[in-house]
Amino acid sequence: MKNTLGKTCRIGVAAVVLALACGMSAISVSAADDGGYAGAFLRLDIDPRAAALGGAYTALAEGPAGFHYNPAGPAWARKRMVEASYRKMSFDRRFGSAALLWTLRNEAAVVGSWVHAGVSEVYERDLEGAIGDDIGESNNSISFTFAKQFTPFFSLGINLRYVQMNIALIEAYTVGFDFGALVALSQKQFSLGGPKGLTDVRLGLVLERINYKYPWNTRDYWVTLNETGQSFEERWPLNFRGGVSASVYERHVILAADVEINEESGAQFHAGAEVLPLKSLALRGGINGSHPAAGLGLLVPWNRNTLIVNYAFAMTDDIIDNEHLISIGVRF
């Protein structure tokens, strides 16, 4: 009976993976480009592991960057960690982040983080083509996250973010919230098909961009051109994420899938898999909407600490160069 159940489970897992693969193009419905909406830079992946998994990280949300995908994720951390990441992008765009995760009594954690995105050397030109001032853009997000386990398998978390944007001589800022919940069932609580079957099932839900809105006043820019500006409020579209992850083959393989629904740009599907051939090496692949991604991770013992290096390669649209993400962290 046990062998039959294990075989059935393996067939079921294979069927799920096949269904996800077949549905990737179909479920990417209305995954429209959201670059024209406020706060689009915070929908980019800041963590190479998450990026290599196609952005399917709502149910995992591990490490200091986990807050970005689900503020309830850091509650499951048992060691402190600091991490910095950088994303290589085309057209002189900059994108990077840094985060510190601090555990509290093995049941809660706080995370302090900074995310930066920007572009410079974008110049005005008049009707004759003469070059004017640099009107480059700069975005900064500073956030504080608190996450807590309320039971051995359930946690809640909240992000409090301050976001500032500066373009030309115009500046706007906002303060908003993100809420997340995570259910993590250990092997003792859930195991289908024995050790090689489905274990460590995790479910995550997130509602993001609550109360985010930019109050703009364009007078400071247009007054330099002897024109009048205006004041208006730009609200960020709400974003919902739901995800599931699980381990198979004695935790040597992790599968993850997310559905993301944005108030303006619609729904997008994320899926990925991580294979652990060695305890110190992880190989990853995934799909973000319709764009493939891949990457790897390395764990290097360092005195009593652990050095963690992650890399991801993300394919983008034809007009934009493919992007590379790298992060370096220390778990202590």
Tell me the CATH number at 77. 2.40.160.40
Distances (CA, A) of 158 to 23, 126, 139, 212: 32, 46, 21, 14
182 in Cβ contact with 193 (< 8 Å) = no
Query: pLDDT tens digits for 15-27?
Result: 333 333 333 333 3
- In the predicted structure, residue 134 carries a pLDDT above the cut 90: no
Residues 242/205, Cβ–Cβ less than 8 Å? yes
Number of domains, the chain: 1
The range of the structural domain enclosing residue 248 comes to: 2-331
Report the distance separating Cα 309 and Cα 332, nearest Å. Answer: 14
Which band of pLDDT confidence, cut at 50, 70 and 90, is reported for residue 269? very high
**Lookup: tokens for 263:** 């108030």
pLDDT digits (tens, 9 = 90+) for 102-115: 999 999 999 999 99
What's the whole-model pTM score?
0.84
pLDDT band at residue 100, thresholds of 50, 70 and 90? very high
Q: pLDDT at position 238, please?
A: 96
Confidence of residue 125 (pLDDT cuts 50, 70, 90): low
Give the residue-averaged pLDDT of 132-151.
90
Asked if residues 270 and 288 have their Cβ atoms less than 8 Å apart, the reply is yes
Q: What is the pLDDT of residues 68-90, one digit of tens each?
A: 999 999 999 999 999 999 999 88
Residue 244 Cα distances to 143, 183, 220, 324, angstroms: 25, 10, 47, 25
Which pLDDT value is given to residue 15? 32
Three-class SS of residue 37?
Answer: coil
Contact 50, 44 (CB under 8 A): no
- What is the mean pLDDT of the segment spanning 134-147? 91
Please state, in angstroms and rounded to a whole number, the distance separating the CA atoms of residues 101 and 259: 26
Read off the pLDDT band of 319 (50, 70, 90). Answer: low
- Neighbouring-strand partners of residue 275: 253, 283
Q: Which residue has the tokens 């994420």?
A: 241
Tokens in use for 182?
């995570």
Contact 177, 192 (CB under 8 A): no
% of the chain exceeding 90 in pLDDT: 64
Q: What is the mean pLDDT of the chain?
A: 85
Range name among 37-51, 165-179, 275-289, 307-321 with the lowest pLDDT average: 307-321
Q: What radius of gyration, in Å, describes the C-alpha atoms of the chain?
A: 21
Cα 61 to Cα 73: distance, rounded to the nearest angstrom: 5
Distance from C-alpha of 332 to C-alpha of 329, rounded to nearest angstrom: 10
Confidence of residue 225 (pLDDT cuts 50, 70, 90): low
Comparing 324 with 133, which gets the higher pLDDT? Answer: 324
Q: Which residues contact 321 (CB under 8 A, 6 or more apart)?
A: 89, 90
What tokens were used for 79? 């060691």
Distance CA 117, CA 89 (A): 10
**How would you classify residue 8: left for phi > 0, otherwise alpha for psi between -120 and 50, otherwise beta?**
alpha
pLDDT value at 32 more than 50: no
Residue 159: CB atoms within 10 A of its CB come to 24
Q: Are 218 and 227 in contact (CB under 8 A)?
A: no
